[in-house]
Amino acid sequence: MSIETVKAQAKDASAAVRNMHAELQARLPFSDRADYDDAARGFIATIENAHIVNEMGRPVWSLRPYAFLKEEIPPHTINPSLWRQAQLNMYHGLFEVTAGVYQIRGFDIANMTLVEGERGVIIVDCLTSIEGARAGLELYFKHRDRKPVTGVLFTHTHGDHWGGARGVLSESDIKGGTVPIVAPDQFMEYVASENIIAGPAMHRRAMYQFGHSLPRSARGQIDCGLGKAMAWGSMALVRPNDLIKTTGDTRKIDGVEFEFQMAPHSEAPAEMHLYLPETKVLNLAENCTHNFHNLLPFRGAEVRDPLAWSKYLAEALHLWGGRAEVLCGQHHWPVWGVERVAKMISQQRDLYKFAHDQTVRLMNHGLTPTEIVDVLEMPTNLEAAWHTRGYYGHIRHNAKAIYQKYLGWYDANPANLDPLPRVATGKKFVEYMGGADAALERAQHDFERGEFRFVAQVLSHVVFADPSNDRAREMLADTFEQMGYATESANWRNAYLLGAQELRQGITAMPARDRLPPETIAALRTDQLWDVLGVRVIARKAEGLVIVLNWNFTDTGETFLLTLENCALTYLSGVQSEAPDATCVLRRDALDGIIGKQVTLLDSIRSGAVTVTGDVQKLETLMSVMDSFSGTFELVEPIRD
C-alpha cells in the first residue's frame, strides 16, 4: 500500500450532489423557523464558544471550530437539511425551560437538566465529562443562587448521561448516601455490560459514527445529529442508591414531586421518563428527540425495539398528554405548549411504529433489507416534520436493523450463505470485471453520472483486491466524499468522510483502548469479568491446553470453578473442583487490578494480594493465552497483519 502518494485534499461537491441538494431545498419547509426560536428561548448566559478545558489546560469540549456554521447559506458540500440541524445544535449555555427548571445545552452532545428544590438543585443527567458537568453547574450557580446538589437522576445507561456525575457530586455526597442518586431498574447491570465484551470493536466503529478524527469544516465533521460531538474529558461511574422499577412510581426529592414511566429496551436497555406535575414539564429522556433516533448505532449494539419504543410514547401521551405544557429531553431543545407537545409525541410515536410495521410487512412479502429501504416511503406528515428527519438514525439503516432483529443477517438466498471473505471476493470480482483498469474506467463513467452507490461497491472490491492501487483508493475516496456531502444523516456523513480520509491518509493515531476504566471493572459482576476474559482467549495458543482453577474471593464470599478446555474458557459459580490445578484466594479488587492491567499476576502473587496453592505455572499459562486489542484496525481496506 502507498498511502503516502494518495494524500489528495478534500474536493468540492459534484454537479450530481448539488442537484440533490437543490431538490431537497425545494421540497422541505426551510422557511419554518420555529425550531430556531425554541432553541434560543430562555437563554440566560454561556461560556464563550462553550470552550471547556481540563486541569492540564487541554480542551475537552469547544464549539470554536464550528464557527463556519454561522453562515446563512450552506456550502455545496453539506446537505442543507443537515446544515440546519447543525446550526440548531450550536445554541449553547444556560437556558430557563420554565420557572424552576433549567438546562445546560451545547456543553456536550447531551443536556444537563436542573430542577430547583426547596434547599438545593436536583440534576437530571450529568453529561459525558466531569469537566463539562462542573462547568455547567458553575454557570448555573453564577446566575442563580449557589446551593447544594440535593439529588441526581440518571435517565438511562449511556455514558453521555452519567459520565460527569463527579463534576456535580462530591466524594462525601457519594459515600455518605445522603444525596438520592436515582436510576431505572437494571441500570448498573446494563451500564457495565452493554459495551464491554465488544468494546474494542465498538470504539473503532464509533470513530466512523461520530467522525472524531475528521477536521471540523464544511468538508469534514459538522455535527452528530443528536448534538455536535462526543466530549473527550474524564468520566467516572457513580452507583445509584435508589432504583425506579415500575411505571407510576413517584419520588419526592427536596420537596419536588417526580412521576416516572419505565421504558426499558427502547433507546437504551434501561431507560425511564419523568414528569414534574408542579411545573408541568415532561422529560422523555432520549426517546423523543428532534430527529429519528438509531435503532442500531453504527458503533454496534443490540437492535433496539421500535415497537416497544412506540408503545412507551403512546403510554406517555396517555399519562401526561393534555397536562404537559413543556416537553424537554436530554438532547436538543424543548417544545412549549400543550398542543405542540402532544403533536410531537404522537408524530414520534407513529414514526417508530411506521418504520416497524412497514419493514415487517415488506419483509413478509420476501423483500430483503436493501430492497425494503428502496421502496419505503415516509408518510407526508412525517416527511414534513423536522423532528422526524434522519439526522442520527435514518429510515434506510433503521429498516435494516428491524429486519436484523427479526430474521438476522441471512437473507435466505443460498448464494449469500457462505460467501468468500472480503479480500478473496475483491480479487475474484476484479478478475471477472476484466482487471482493475477496466473496472476503474467503468467506475469513472458511473461516477460522473452520480451513480455513487454502485461505484462505491465496485471500487471497494478493487481496493480489497489490491490496497496498493492508488488510483482505486483515490477514486473510492472521491466517491465516499460525494456520498458524505449528499447525505442528510450526520452519522452517514461522518462514516463516508472518515472512510475517504483513511483511504487518503491512513488511520489517525489514537490512544490505546485496551484497558478498561477501573470504575467500570469494579462495577462488573465477577461472572461478567470471566466473560470478558473468555473473548480474549487466543485459540491457536490454547490448543491442547486443559486448565482447571478454583477461585475464592475473601471479601465477597464468591467461589468459582474456571476451566480452559477445547480453547474455551467456561466457569461455574458456587462450585469448586476437588482436584484443581491451582486454587487462587484473593479479594475482588485484586482481580480488578490484574484485568485492568494496573498490576501483573506475578506481582500480585509476590505482594500477597493473590495466594495460590497448587501449580502456579498453570495460572501463568492461562494469562499467556490472553489477547490484547489495539482498537485501530482497518475498515475500508484489508486488515494488516
C-alpha to C-alpha distance for 235 and 108, rounded to whole angstroms: 13
Beta carbons of 395 and 306 less than 8 angstroms apart: no
Nearest CA among 435, 436, 474, 480 for reference residue 457: 480
pLDDT over 80 at 608, yes or no: yes
What are the tens digits of pLDDT across the range 92-148?
A: 999 999 999 999 999 999 999 999 999 999 999 999 999 999 999 999 999 999 999
What are the tens digits of pLDDT across the range 551-563?
A: 999 999 999 999 9
Report the amino acid identity of residue 31.
Answer: S
Q: What is the phi/psi pair of residue 464, to 5°? A: -70, -30
Neighbours of 539 (CB within 10 A): 11
Q: What is the phi/psi pair of residue 545, to 5°? A: -80, 140
Residues 9-46 as b/e (b if ≥16 CB within 10 A, e otherwise) read ebeebbebbeebbeebeeebeeeeeebeebbeebeeeb
Report the amino acid identity of residue 247.
Answer: T
pLDDT over 60 at 2, yes or no: no
Task: Report pTM.
Answer: 0.95
Q: For residue 641, what pLDDT is reported?
A: 73
pLDDT over 80 at 573, yes or no: yes
User: Strand ranges (DSSP E) for 279-386?
Assistant: 281-283, 326-328, 335-336
Q: For residue 5, what pLDDT is reported?
A: 45
Residue with cell 475483491: 426
3-state secondary structure (DSSP) of residue 353? helix
As a residue count, the chain comes to 641
C-alpha to C-alpha distance for 53 and 621, rounded to whole angstroms: 44
Domains of the chain: 34-397 (3.60.15.30), 419-505 (1.25.40.880), 518-624 (3.30.1050.10)
Number of helices (H) and strands (E), helices first, in the chain? Answer: 23, 21
pLDDT over 90 at 524, yes or no: no
Nearest CA among 358, 436, 439 for reference residue 403: 358
Please report which confidence band the pLDDT of residue 475 belongs to, taking 50, 70 and 90 as the band edges. Answer: very high
C-alpha to C-alpha distance for 117 and 525, rounded to whole angstroms: 35
Please report which confidence band the pLDDT of residue 509 belongs to, taking 50, 70 and 90 as the band edges. Answer: confident
What are the tens digits of pLDDT across the range 310-364?
A: 999 999 999 999 999 999 999 999 999 999 999 999 999 999 999 999 999 999 9
Q: For residue 1, what pLDDT is reported?
A: 41
pLDDT over 50 at 65, yes or no: yes
Nearest CA among 184, 115, 185, 183 for reference residue 150: 115
Beta carbons of 285 and 267 less than 8 angstroms apart: yes
Residue with cell 415488506: 362
Neighbours of 612 (CB within 10 A): 18
Please report which confidence band the pLDDT of residue 488 belongs to, taking 50, 70 and 90 as the band edges. Answer: very high
Mean pLDDT for the chain?
95
Q: Average pLDDT in the 245-254 region?
A: 98
Give the H or E element holding residue 340: helix 338-363
Nearest CA among 112, 235, 176, 109 for reference residue 491: 109
Give the contacts of 528 (CB within 8 A, at least 6 positions apart).
192, 193, 196
Q: Average pLDDT in the 236-250 region?
A: 96
Q: For residue 587, what pLDDT is reported?
A: 97
